[in-house]
Amino acid sequence: MHLHKYEKIWLTFGLGSLALFLVIIGFAAFWKGTHPMSHIETIDPQNVEAHESFKPENLGLREVAEGKYAVNIVASAFNYNIGTDADGKPVKKIRVPKGSTVLFQITTKDVVHGFQVAGTNVNMMVEPGHVSRLETVMKNAGEFTVVCNEYCGIGHHQMFATVEVYE
């Protein structure tokens, strides 16, 4: 099969850039640990309370060490259960200081949901039978909307929360 000279140059350049590009994302993934969220841990979706992290009293924000937090959430159509506050009211806002490390752990009792803290790198699918888990450093202060970004039913657009990162 005959290749034109210019086509050879074009393809060599293209394949070279492609190889470089793949090396970069491979390096970032395997050496810098920037894989997308791929936590592997199963759970019974009919009985999520059996899991230590998703017992009703363990839901919500906890400081696990100096500057380190964990947030446990149970998603269901069309709500994120982030525990209750001192008055027994459902929590809708997660507040953490700027620069803190936050571990999000979330699962669902019913259908597939999404969990994105818009404006940050926290974006993961939440699927029945699996635990999704992602740790991140909240570097910027501000109010971030948490949205369910996987269609979960006709109330999908009413499923949200807020993360506030304060100075």
Q: Which does 138 bind (CB under 5 to 8 A by kind): Cu ion, other proteins, none?
A: none
Q: Which does 110 bind (CB under 5 to 8 A by kind): Cu ion, other proteins, none?
A: other proteins
Q: In the complex, what is the shortest distance from the CB of residue 66 to other proteins, in angstroms, rounded to a whole number?
A: 28
Q: In the complex, what is the shortest distance from the CB of residue 42 to other proteins, in angstroms, rounded to a whole number?
A: 4
Of 103, 104, 74, 111, the residue nearest 90 (C-alpha): 74
Q: Largest Cα–Cα distance of the chain, in whole Å?
A: 77
162 vs 42: CA distance, rounded Å: 27
Q: Which does 11 bind (CB under 5 to 8 A by kind): Cu ion, other proteins, none?
A: other proteins
List the interface residues with Cu ion, window 93-152 (CB under 5 A).
148, 152
Q: In the complex, what is the shortest distance from the CB of residue 147 to other proteins, in angstroms, rounded to a whole number?
A: 5
The region, left, alpha or beta by phi > 0 then psi within -120 to 50, assigned to residue 94 is: beta
**Beta pairing partners, 101:** 68, 137
Q: Which residues bind Cu ion (CB under 5 A)?
A: 148, 152, 156, 159
